[in-house]
Amino acid sequence: MWGNERARPALLLVALILVVTLFAPFSPLVERSPTEQKTVKDVRFVQPRDDGVRLWPYTSRGQTFEQATLPINAVVLTDATTTYQLLSTTPGGGQRLYWNTTEKTWQPSRTAQANVTINETGVYWAESTGSERYTFSMSNKSSQWRDATYQLHHGTYFGSRHHLRLYAGGSRDQPWTAIQAHHEHWDWFRLRHDVNSLSKSQHYLERDFRGIGLVTKLSRERWANGGAIDADGWVTVIELEDRVTRGPQYDADQSETSSADSQAQPTPMDSQAQSKHTDTAPHVAVYGIAFSLVGLAFAGYVESVVEEGREYAEESREYVRRLRESPLSRYHVALFASTALIPLIVRVGGIAAEQAFPFTSPKVVGAPFYALLAVGLPAAAILFGRHLTATDGFTVAILGFGTGIMLDYSYLGLTVIPYGALVQRAVLLLGLGLLAAGGTRWATEPVPRHRYHTAGLALWVWALVWPLLG
C-alpha cells in the first residue's frame, strides 16, 4: 500500500518531466534567437497606392524584421483618423459625420449638420489597449518603423474579442491605413492574449464596412503574406467615397403628426355603444358556469402537483441517504467543485469587472482575479485534499481542474487549444494533483507528504512563471 501510494504521483511526475524536456524546445512559449539579422534588402514590400510609399506587410514585436508576428490583412485608402472615426462611432446612427471641404475629411457633428449615418451594422468598435507592434514603411526619401496609430476592439479584454491595429501611412495627398485584424482570447494562466484566427476578423471587418454606405469598392489583393495561423495572403482593400449623401432621415415632426392623426379617429356610434350594455343577464350566467369549471380543473391540478412534490421529496431523501453511504465524502465534492468552478468564476468575474470599470487599467482590474486563480486553486487543493487519501486527492483534483479548463474554453466558444497553452495546462494539472495528494492528514501509511507538497508547488509556480519569461 505504501509503495503504491507513493509511486503513482512520482511516476507521473517523471513522465511529465521527460515530455516537457523533449518538446519544450519546440514550444511557442520559448523565444528563439534569430539565426541571422535581416535587412531591408532581405524582405519584400508592397505598395498600397501609386504614391511611391511601400509597406512591409507584417507586424513585429520590436523594430526588427526578425521579430515578425502577424501579417497585415486589410488596408483602407484614406487616413487613419477617418478610418478610426468610421469604426468607433456609436452604432445605430447615434453619431453622424459630415464632409469638411476645407480639411477634406469626415468629421463628427450635430445630427442636423450631418449628411451620412455611419456604422449601422450594430458593431461597436471601442478604443483598446494591447502590446506594442510595429510595421515598416519606406519611400524614395525616407523610411521608418511605425507603431499602431489607433487600437480598437469589439468584445471584451478578459474574454474574447476582435482586435484591430491601425497604422497610418502613405503620402499627404494619398494617405492609407494598414490594418492588422485578428480574433483573440485572454489566457489567465499565461497573462496574455492568444490569437485564434485572422480570417475571422478580416471577414468581420469587411462586413462592417459594407454596412456604412461609404464604400465604393471592396476587393482583395494578393500580397502573399499568409502562413500565420489561418491567413491566406489575400488582403482586403477598401476604397471610400469622397462625399456621400444619404436618403431621408428620421423625421420627428412627421412621426408626431401621424401619431396625432391616429388619436383623432372617430369613435363608434352612440347607438352601438349603448347596445353593449343590453341583454347582459344571459352572459353573466354563462361566465359563472365557465368559472366554476375552471376552478374544479385547477383544484385537480394543484392536488396532482402536491402529490408529485411528495414523491420528489422522498426520492431526494433517498438520494441523500445513498450519497452518505457512498465512499465519496463532502471533501471529494468540495475539492472537485472548487477546482472546476474557480477558473470559470475568474473568467466571468473578470469580464464583469472590466465592463463595470471601463476606464480602469486592465492590469488593475485583473489583479485580484489572477490572485484568486494563482493562489486560490492550490489553497483549495491543500485544504480539501488533506482529508483524502493521496490517490483520491490526486485524482479528484486533476478531474476537477480539467473540467474547469474545459468549462472555461467552452464559455469562450473555443474548440482549439494553442500548443503552448496545452503544455502549460498539463504541468499545472500535475502540480495541482500533487498538492492535493500532499495534503493527506488521515492516511494510515507513513508517507512524508511534504515531498508531494514541494514537488506540486514547484511545478505550479514554474508553470505560471514560465510563459512570462518568454
Rank 143-157, 276-290, 339-353 by mean pLDDT and report only the highest. 339-353
The residue among 28 and 380 whose pLDDT is bigger is 380
* Each residue's pLDDT tens digit, 413-424: 988 888 889 999
Give the pLDDT of residue 102: 65
* Each residue's pLDDT tens digit, 100-151: 556 655 565 543 333 344 444 445 678 888 889 999 999 888 889 999 999 9
The residue among 146 and 32 whose pLDDT is bigger is 146
Q: Which three cell numbers stand for residue 279?
A: 341583454
Instruction: Tell me the pLDDT band of 93, cut-offs 50, 70 and 90.
Output: very low
* Each residue's pLDDT tens digit, 222-262: 999 988 888 999 999 999 876 433 333 223 333 334 444 44
The residue among 55 and 112 whose pLDDT is bigger is 55
- Mean of the per-residue pLDDT values for the chain? 76
Give the pLDDT of residue 327: 62
Give the pLDDT of residue 63: 93
Amino acid occupying residue 289: I
Return the minimum-mean-pLDDT range out of 26-30, 81-85, 164-168, 325-329.
26-30
Return the minimum-mean-pLDDT range out of 1-5, 153-157, 290-294.
1-5
Instruction: Tell me the pLDDT band of 26, cut-offs 50, 70 and 90.
Output: very low
Give the pLDDT of residue 374: 96
Instruction: Tell me the pLDDT band of 85, cut-offs 50, 70 and 90.
Output: confident
Give the pLDDT of residue 257: 41
Print the SS3 string covering the chain.
CHHHHHHHHHHHHHHHHHHHHHHHHHCCCCCCCCCCCCCHHHCCCECCCCCCCEECCEEECCCCHHHEEEECCEEECCCHHHHHHHHHCCCCCCCEEEEECCCCEEEEECCCCCCEECCCCCCCCEECCCCCCEEEEECCCCEEEEECCEEEEEECCCCEEEEEEEEEEECCCCEEEEEEEEEEEEECCCCEEEEEECHHHHHHHHHHHHCCCCEEEEEEEECCCCCCCCCCCEEEEEEECCCCCCCCCCCHHHHHHHHHHHHCCCCCCHHHHHHCCCCCHHHHHHHHHHHHHHHHHHHHHHHHHHHHHHHHHHHHHHHHHHHHHCCCCHHHHHHHHHHHHHHHHHHHHHHHHHHHCCCCCHHHHHHHHHHHHHHHHHHHHHHHHCCCCHHHHHHHHHHHHHHHHHHHHHHHCCCCCCHHHHHHHHHHHHHHHHHHHCCCCCCCCCCCCHHHHHHHHHHHHHHHHHHHHC
The residue among 106 and 77 whose pLDDT is bigger is 77
